Structure 1
Amino acid sequence: MLARSAPSTSPDAAARAVEQVRLGWRLYLVEDPPRVLFLSKAPRAVLQAVFYVLLARLTGGEQDGGQAAFVGISAYLMCLSSIVAAGGSPALDRDEGTLYRVLTGAVPPFRFFVLKYLPYTAEALLVSLTVLAVAGPVLGLGGTSVNLLADLGLYALMAVTSTCLGIAVGVLAIMGRSEFLLGNSSSYLVLVLSGAVVPADRLGALGHLGTVLPLTHGIEALRLSLAGRPYAGAVAAEIAVGLGWLALAWVLATRWGRRARVHGLT
């Protein structure tokens, strides 16, 4: 059984949280230095955005020049960071032999994962902004990009809610040692069921499954905003979905921490 440090007082807990955030950023910069973001992740996201919008135009399913598809894909591509990359982060700690420190430290596992994921939330938002800044003009949708930038808060919200799913996926992955399968599968589910590319009303019964996934309501809010219609309800639904996944992440992290401390497993 792994022993755990005694709980900290409130000032100590705050100091440890600040230090954990700093550590998370340092680890992120080691694992994903800026050159990886700007020379690999961002270009890939831009190319994927161009591909999906051109595909929408070629199939003739979009009557708006691919605007609806562009709105959806500009949000979805943040999942490459907030779900896929973030979901694999705990596995890196495990493979590097440092995950056991999470169990013996004073910071609870759930708090540790939340603070460690913050860089991926920021990266997710930056990826979407890059898509708007580069892919939009390339596709002749520069005006749409400008209008979407006015809804930057919605993109920030979706970066947070999708990271909540990423946290749950990451913890579940280290419990079952299947990080690559879960991370990619989760992102594809969001792609198909959130209405990012195919509007939810065309998905039939499958569209109902998307209501419990991040981005679904956020993308709806973006489209309503562009149409000049109220979208407060969609924002509230997106927040509720994010909180639901965060609660699940807490349950999984707590269960993993207890099981790992008892059996000495990481």
Structure 2
Amino acid sequence: MSSSDRLTGPALWRLGETVRFGWREFHAVNPPSVVVGSILPRMLLQILFFTLLGGVLAGTRHQEYAFVGGLVLGLAMTVILYVSQVPVADKESGTFWRLRTGHLTPMVVFTARALPYPVVGFAVLLVSAAVVAPLAGLGGLAVRLLPVAGIYLLVAFTAMAAGLAAAAFAVGRRAETLVSNLMGYVVLLCSGAFLPPGRIPALDAIGTVVPGRHGLAAIHAHLRGDPWVSGVVAEAVVGVAWLGAATLVVAVQIRRARRHGHDDFA
């Protein structure tokens, strides 16, 4: 066995075990009863509300627009809110210091443990869409969205990255729930999901770094028959940028912890 094998093998094993632990942790915090009884109704009602509101305010055409955007809103807002449970678990358990001394960096651990949230969120989205589309008379539109379902999955991971960044920034200040909700409302205002781009320049400017904005633009481009790959690339870049921001925030907290002898997460 080469030296690179000795280094890579244990690291991959630890990463795999962390991912597996993340699923067990998710199941403990969000058992099937919570997913079915809380997360699913929350997302379903959000999507239904925005879809019907679009129809009431601007007719059938905007109802279709609102349905497409409502799927992004329901998914992104749900993932951003619930993924904050990952760093909060270490805050409540007083275990952040153990992450700082482990072989994997804390941000790698957080990311690996957060993976269930976008995956389950996407699964809940599919169920919600299957329920809302016929209720709103948009079954045909839902079928047209199937080829770009992967973009919604990408948005789920972008929202995960943004949610981790928001929670990591605020968890040491006992404001993680507030900041996660604020992040969700920024997505609501600036993603272009309900208010079409081009109406308020300031919101459009903020929207360039908001999860879901570019992915949603790609989905609308697909529905129009226009090129849409650039929107997918931009959405992925936004997700990487938020993950980088989260990594930076956690690195600063680690440096402070070493300098002051206590954890920001305590």
Please confirm whether the aligned pair reaches a TM-score higher than 0.5, indicating the same fold. Answer: yes
- Pair 1:44-2:45 in alignment: no
Query: Which amino acid counterpart does residue 25 of structure 1 have in structure 2?
Result: W
The corresponding residue for 1:25 is 23
The corresponding residue for 1:4 is none
The corresponding residue for 2:162 is 165
1:18-45 CA-partner distances (Å, limit 9, x unpaired) = 0100111101100001111112111121
- Pair 1:112-2:112 in alignment: no
Aligned residues: 258
1:137-169 CA-partner distances (Å, limit 9, x unpaired) = 111111111111221111111111111111111
The corresponding residue for 2:203 is 206
Matches within 5 A, 1:16-165: 16-60=14-58, 62-64=59-61, 66-165=63-162
Distance 1:117 1:37 in 2: 16
Give 1:65 deviation, angstroms.
5.3
Query: Which amino acid counterpart does residue 46 of structure 2 have in structure 1?
Result: Q
- Pair 1:14-2:12 in alignment: yes
Task: Give the root-mean-square deviation of aligned CA atoms.
Answer: 1.6
The answer for unaligned runs of 5 or more in structure 1 is 1-7
Q: TM-score, normalised by structure 1?
A: 0.92
Distance 1:59 1:221 in 2: 24
Which structure shows the bigger proportion of residues in helix conformation?
2
Matches within 5 A, 1:211-222: 211-222=208-219
Contact between 2:79 and 2:121, CA under 8 Å: does it hold in 1?
Answer: yes
Distance 2:197 2:205 in 1: 8
1:98-157 CA-partner distances (Å, limit 9, x unpaired) = 333212222111101110110111122123212211111111111111111221111111
Contact between 2:76 and 2:211, CA under 8 Å: does it hold in 1?
Answer: no
- Pair 1:187-2:180 in alignment: no
Distance 2:254 2:153 in 1: 30
Pick which of 122-131 and 22-31 moved more: 122-131
Q: TM-score, normalised by structure 2?
A: 0.92
Higher relative contact order (CA 8 A, sep 6+): 1
